[in-house]
Structure 1
Amino acid sequence: MGDVANAMYSFSQKAIAPKDPSYTKIHHRLTPFAAFFDGCIGALDGTHVEVTVSRQSRLDFINRKGTVTVNVLGIVDMDMRFTYVGAGRAGSSHDMAVLNDCMRTPNYPHPPLGRYYLVDSGYAVREGYLGPYRSTRYHLEEFSRREADTLEEKFNFHHFSHRSVVERAFGFLKSRWHIL
């Protein structure tokens, strides 16, 4: 099992990488929203993957829904291609703790100056990571029935629409690889 894991890790270092590591171009899906999302290079989020662990470790790996999982961080570009995957924290770990661990690894793709990842409100506001306005609504159903009341609502609606690329990528991956 160790040989397979090592081979997969080696493969991932070559296959899971940004298509344009210098991030010279703005993705075509973001050009209509240039005023808001010029520096966006992708989105990141966490997902939980069920695992089997020893009895002694079980309590650490139980997530908020009561399942035994590992919390996995994924970064995707706007074409739903994974550019980074970091795993290994127990399911009880907060998404921000997983991100902090991943940021300390040598292969973590820190956003260059002036660029950023879209994140949800579970992540701390910091340079290189753009979250939604807090305490501002942006539900799709509500937004489609009427125009946004404020600029913050409009921003949050489009932020969510673009950030959901990472959730769709994880969903696609889990549908293709049922073991996940």
Structure 2
Amino acid sequence: MSSFPGDSGLRHDKFGEVLESVVSFADAILRPRDAHYTTVHERLGKYTPFFDGCIGALDGTHIRVCVDRKAHDDFTNRKGWTSQNVIAVCDFDMWFTFVGVGKAGAVHDMKVLRDAWAVPGFPHPPEGRYYLVDSGYAGEAGYLGPYRNNRYHLREFERRRAENWDEVYNFHHSSLRNDMGKVRDWVKFGVASLQLK
């Protein structure tokens, strides 16, 4: 059943009006509460002192889109379907502090992040602070990823405990990202809530 009576044109118009309203106040609500991150968040207690510099998590996800034939190849991601590559930054209170949209699905995660850095209002981590990221974003100052070529995901540790320091670190990194409530799931939920059925 439709949320709006009548044809889909009306729904499209209303969706556009709502989206414009949301965008108009996004700068006021999509920002860190404390831009200098002067305190260690209480959720980091069980990870102290190893992740005391962590200020949140950054992750990306692919959101399905329909595009015309001319743009099809640019929007086809590595899994073979058309999408936008969306990036989001979330703090430990599960507040979004940045959401970047509009990048074609074929664009690599690191390129999406580099483009986001150029956006006014992007919450760059202050010196000595960092975001937890997956291996697609690792290697940049202020973005702490897991050790590559080692087990990482929590399910990989269910049958066998960590066997070296890199795996111990990866286990705790993965646990902390998991404790944050899975930023990717929050992004997908938020976007899905806006899509018309």
1:66 is matched by which residue type in structure 2? G
- Structure 1 segment 1-180 matched on structure 2, within 5 A: 5-164=19-178, 165=180, 166-173=183-190, 177=193, 179=195
Secondary structure, counterpart of 1:47 in structure 2 = strand
Runs (5+) with no aligned partner, structure 1? none
Structure 1 residue 162, shift from structure 2 partner: 1.9
1:179 is matched by which residue type in structure 2? Q
- Rounded Cα–Cα distance in structure 2 between residues aligned with 1:168 and 1:68: 19
2:37 is matched by which residue type in structure 1? Y
2:195 is matched by which residue type in structure 1? I
Structure 1 residue 146, shift from structure 2 partner: 4.3
TM-score under structure 2 normalisation?
A: 0.81
Identical pairs, percent: 52
Distance 1:134 1:53, change over 3 A: same
Across the two proteins, how many residue pairs are aligned to each other?
A: 179
**What is the RMSD of the two structures over their aligned residues, measured on CA atoms?**
2.1
Query: Higher Cα Rg: structure 1 or 2?
Result: 2
Q: Deviations over 1:58-106 (max 9, x none)?
A: 1111111222111110001122221100111101101101000000111
2:117–2:124 Cα contact (<8 Å) kept:
yes
Structure 1 residue 143, shift from structure 2 partner: 2.2
Runs (5+) with no aligned partner, structure 2? 1-12
Structure 1 residue 168, shift from structure 2 partner: 3.7
Secondary structure, counterpart of 1:83 in structure 2 = strand
Structure 1 residue 110, shift from structure 2 partner: 0.5
1:36–1:155 Cα contact (<8 Å) kept:
no
- Rounded Cα–Cα distance in structure 2 between residues aligned with 1:90 and 1:171: 16
Structure 1 residue 57, shift from structure 2 partner: 1.0
Structure 1 residue 167, shift from structure 2 partner: 2.6
1:26–1:39 Cα contact (<8 Å) kept:
yes
Secondary structure, counterpart of 1:46 in structure 2 = strand
Distance 1:42 1:4, change over 3 A: same
